[in-house]
Structure 1
Amino acid sequence: MYSYLLFFHSIFRWLVLLSLLYAIFRGIRGRSGKLSFSKSDDSVRHIIATISHVQLTIGYLLYFNSPFIAYFRSHYHEAIKQFDFMFFGMIHITLMTISIILITIGSSAAKRQETDEDKFRTMTVYFAIALLIIFMAIPWPFSPLANRPYLRSF
């Protein structure tokens, strides 16, 4: 099960990133072009929130089933001294949870705004901040913090 969770978590990472980039693009284009906030824009807002919640759920399942995290929890004082364990045991999950909370707040707040410009602005700002946090917390292959491959396999 653990290898399947890793695979799906890896796949959903790309869905979250691409959908966030697309939503931010639509938000910038809509606000700068003074477009109306269409049903399509509302669907994009809702879909990114849904995709990110699925990713967070997979991440939590992975976190609580990971032998890596089991070691971190059982040998906390030793593991906290090793950055790889600290990154995945605390930093990664905390930053990702914060980013999904920001996406949720941004999605909900955008839906409740009165004007189309405010809807685009709210969606863009919250999603852009969440995307920045996500970029920092992903263990990219080139990252000095913790590196993993671009795509996991079974």
Structure 2
Amino acid sequence: MYSILLALHSLIRWLVLLSLLLAICLAWRGWLLGKKYTSVNDQVRVITTTIAHIQLLAGLGLYVVSPIVRYFLNHFNLAVHERQVRFFGMEHVTMMLIAIVVLSIGSAKAKRITNDSDKFKTMAIWFTVGLLIILSSIPWSFSPLISRPNFRPF
């Protein structure tokens, strides 16, 4: 179960990043160029937040079955001083929850706005902030602090 969830979580990460980049590009373009907010823009907003929420569910499932998290929770006083264990037991999950909240707020706010420019502006700002939080909290393969493979096999 753990290895399947880990591979799935790793795969969905790329869908989250791609959909967020698309949504952000459309939002900034629409806002800066004064474009009309279309149903395609709305579908991208909904799909992006949906993929992010699916990733959240996969991540929470992974959190529940992870041996790293189990060690972190059972040996908190020691584990909190171990960089890699602390990252997965506390930092990663906290930052990603914050990022999902930011994306959800941005999506909900944009949904309620009637002015096209303000819709794009809201999406551009909130989704960009969410993306920055996500990018700072992914254990990239090139990170000197904590690294994991960019792609995990099933």
> Could you state the TM-score of these two structures normalised by the residue count of structure 2?
0.98
Is 1:31 the counterpart of 2:31? The answer is yes
Check the 8 A contact 1:87/1:145 in 2, yes or no: no
Check the 8 A contact 1:31/1:120 in 2, yes or no: yes
Partner of 1:119: 119
Unaligned regions of 5+ residues in structure 2, if any?
Answer: none
Q: How does 1:40-59 map to 2 (within 5 A)?
A: 40-59=40-59
Is 1:129 the counterpart of 2:129? The answer is yes
Letter in 2 for 1:97: L
Size of the alignment, in residue pairs? 154
SS in 2 for 1:78: helix
Could you say what the CA RMSD is over the residues aligned between the two structures, in angstroms? 0.6
Query: How many Å apart are 1:144 and its aligned residue?
Result: 1.8
Unaligned regions of 5+ residues in structure 1, if any?
Answer: none
> Could you state the TM-score of these two structures normalised by the residue count of structure 1?
0.98
Identity of aligned residues (%): 49
Q: How far, CA to CA, are the matches of 1:69 and 1:139 in structure 2? A: 15
Query: How many Å apart are 1:118 and its aligned residue?
Result: 0.3
Letter in 2 for 1:151: F
Query: How many Å apart are 1:110 and its aligned residue?
Result: 0.3
Is 1:103 the counterpart of 2:118? The answer is no
Query: How many Å apart are 1:31 and its aligned residue?
Result: 1.1
Q: How does 1:1-16 map to 2 (within 5 A)?
A: 1-16=1-16
